[in-house]
């Protein structure tokens, strides 16, 4: 199995101790999503940007289960030479962060979970009602459309993340360029089925696995062993802020921040507020 590549920055001088922060992006994206907050984070922490398996610079790294992903990240943390790391995961990256905390707790110092949740899909059974989440029907439609039009599905997903957020059009355009860069369009102009996943170095297998993890991952019964900071957004159409009340009953010791005017990607539209909330949490642990 190939190893994960990582982009690292923010080390400062040899005498300048900085906590280590591992950043995990969301479904269909790559580590470019963190650009709006990267300079501010680099001034405070040792930053390690990781493209998920099948994404970005790791598009040739294969993983077919959450267990595979955990194993890859466990090896990566060892290679970084860190005893423990702070992890910040956005959306799907937040689910992966929780899996890492469950499976390799000795390597994790804290979790910062951005626009994420304990369970991404709805559970409407009478025994375990979890209504404040995306319906399985919507996730299934994403899976169906993904194989018909990979680029179009990713673009619609990007638009959904910013719906109702003022002044986000330019951010959306820049994100589309990062995820579907011009050089990939030349490759995709050949007669290659869109379902092959040629856009932005994202493989269709990794996108399919991501949707499976979003539909099936459930951390409601996990025992929290690490300090947790959950950041929600008031205009998030994917993870509604109403889930906060459900979260409080299951993670009573977690810190929770709500950015009222942000959408699913608060670090892109409200970077200053976001960095302030993140650093306040992590710095109190050091």
pLDDT per residue of the chain (286 residues) written in tens, 0 to 9: 689 999 999 987 776 889 999 999 999 999 999 999 999 999 999 999 999 999 999 999 999 999 999 999 999 999 999 889 999 999 999 999 999 999 999 999 999 999 999 999 987 665 667 888 888 888 888 888 888 888 888 888 899 999 989 889 999 988 888 877 554 443 433 333 333 333 447 898 999 999 999 999 999 999 888 999 999 999 999 999 999 999 999 999 999 999 999 999 999 999 999 999 999 999 999 8
pLDDT score at 139: 86
| 3-state SS record for 130-165 | ECCCECHHHHHHHHHHHHHCHHHHHHHHHHHHCCCC
- Structural domains in the chain (count): 1
- Among the options 48, 86, 226, 264, which is catalytic? 264
Per-residue CA distances from 233 to 42, 89, 113, 242, 266 (Å): 24, 15, 12, 10, 7
Q: Which domain holds residue 226?
A: 7-285
- Among the options 168, 217, 229, 236, which is catalytic? 236
- Concerning whether 236 is annotated as a catalytic residue, the answer is yes
Q: Is residue 1 part of a domain?
A: no
pLDDT score at 126: 57
- Among the options 31, 91, 121, 200, which is catalytic? 91
pLDDT score at 183: 44
Q: Is residue 50 part of a domain?
A: yes
Q: Is residue 40 part of a domain?
A: yes
Q: Is residue 2 part of a domain?
A: no
pLDDT score at 198: 36
DSSP the chain: -PPPP-EEE----TT----EEEEE--TT--GGGGGGGHHHHHTTSEEEEEPPTTSGGGTT----SHHHHHHHHHHHHHHTT-S-EEEEEETHHHHHHHHHHHH-GGGEEEEEEES--S-SB-B--TTS-B-SSB-HHHHHHHHHHHHH-HHHHHHHHHHHHTTT-TT-HHHHHHHHHHHS-HHHHHHHTSS--GGG--GGG--HHHHHHHHHHHHH---TTPPP-S-EEEEEETT-SSS-TTHHHHHHHH-TT-EEEEETT--S-HHHH-HHHHHHHHHHHHHHH-
Q: What is the CATH number of the domain that holds 209?
A: 3.40.50.1820
């Amino acid at each position: 199995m190939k190893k994960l590549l990582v982009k690292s920055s923010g080390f400062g001088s040899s005498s300048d101790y900085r906590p280590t922060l591992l950043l995990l992006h969301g479904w269909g994206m790559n580590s470019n999503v963190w650009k709006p907050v990267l300079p501010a984070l680099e001034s405070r922490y040792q930053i390690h940007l990781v493209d998920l398996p099948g994404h970005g610079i790791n598009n040739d790294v294969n993983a077919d289960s959450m267990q595979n992903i955990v194993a890859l990240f466990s090896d990566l943390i060892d290679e970084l030479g860190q005893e423990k790391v702070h992890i910040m995961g956005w959306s799907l990256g937040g689910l992966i962060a929780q899996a890492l905390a469950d499976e390799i707790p000795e390597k994790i110092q804290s979790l910062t979970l951005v626009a994420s949740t304990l369970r991404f899909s709805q559970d409407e059974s009478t025994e375990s009602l979890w209504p404040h989440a995306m319906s399985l029907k919507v996730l299934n439609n994403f899976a169906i459309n993904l194989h018909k039009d990979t680029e179009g599905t990713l673009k619609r997903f990007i638009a959904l993340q910013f719906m109702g957020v003022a002044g986000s059009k330019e951010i959306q355009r820049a994100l589309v360029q990062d995820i579907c860069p011009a050089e990939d369009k030349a490759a995709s102009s050949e007669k290659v089925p869109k379902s092959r996943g040629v856009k932005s170095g994202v493989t269709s297998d990794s996108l399919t696995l991501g949707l499976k993890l979003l539909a099936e991952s459930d951390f409601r019964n996990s025992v929290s062993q690490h300090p947790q900071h959950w950041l929600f957004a008031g205009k998030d159409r994917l993870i509604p802020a109403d889930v906060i009340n459900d979260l409080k009953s299951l993670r009573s010791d977690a810190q929770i921040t709500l950015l009222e005017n942000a959408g699913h990607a608060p670090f892109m539209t409200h970077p200053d507020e976001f960095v302030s909330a993140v650093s306040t949490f992590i710095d109190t642990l050091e």
